[in-house]
Amino acid sequence: MNKLLPAILPLLICASVGCGSSNPWDPVEVTGKITYEDDSVIPGGARLYFMPQTPPLDAKTFPRQGVVDINAADGTFEYVTTYKYADGLIPGKHKVVVSAGSRGGSASSAVPKVYSSVTTTPLEIDTADSPLHIKIRKP
């Protein structure tokens, strides 16, 4: 038994204290594509920000936004990141903000300004609908 104690002690500690992150939501993998309404690719790519519509659990526990860079060649995206690289999005609905250019710089003429703010974007997705196909109008 004394030889087993060092091997099982970490498991017992994890079981009693918890080994997971402090994240109260389990992110889900989301993939997809963003194009113009005519299915053409946004020139220069883009970065998407997913603003969760999930209410906070309490005054100190808020869901975090997700972010992903778009593949400029075909408009696809994967590896959405919320808490750690490629962990996905908080389950549920999200407003989508589109920033032209893959490094999140200022919006360019490739993306209409309406999509650049959480208060004005008409885009909303649900993680249950992955893989997503987000369409925006051409400027």
For residue 27, the tally of other CB atoms under 10 A from its CB is: 21
Confidence of residue 126 (pLDDT cuts 50, 70, 90): very high
Closest CA to 132 of 57, 60, 34, 36: 34
Task: With respect to residue 7, please indicate whether it lies within any of the assigned structural domains.
Answer: no
What pTM was computed for the model?
Answer: 0.80
pLDDT at residue 12 tops 50 = no
Task: With respect to residue 2, please indicate whether it lies within any of the assigned structural domains.
Answer: no
Range of the domain at 59: 21-136
pLDDT on residue 128: 97
pLDDT at residue 110 tops 80 = yes
pLDDT at residue 6 tops 70 = no
Q: What is the pLDDT of residues 59-104, one digit of tens each?
A: 999 999 999 999 999 999 999 999 999 999 999 999 999 998 655 4
Contact 68, 48 (CB under 8 A): yes
CATH number assigned to the domain comprising residue 91: 2.60.40
pLDDT on residue 44: 87
Task: With respect to residue 1, please indicate whether it lies within any of the assigned structural domains.
Answer: no
Task: With respect to residue 16, please indicate whether it lies within any of the assigned structural domains.
Answer: no
Domain count, the chain: 1
Task: With respect to residue 127, please indicate whether it lies within any of the assigned structural domains.
Answer: yes
Q: What percent of the chain has pLDDT over 70?
A: 78
Task: With respect to residue 92, please indicate whether it lies within any of the assigned structural domains.
Answer: yes
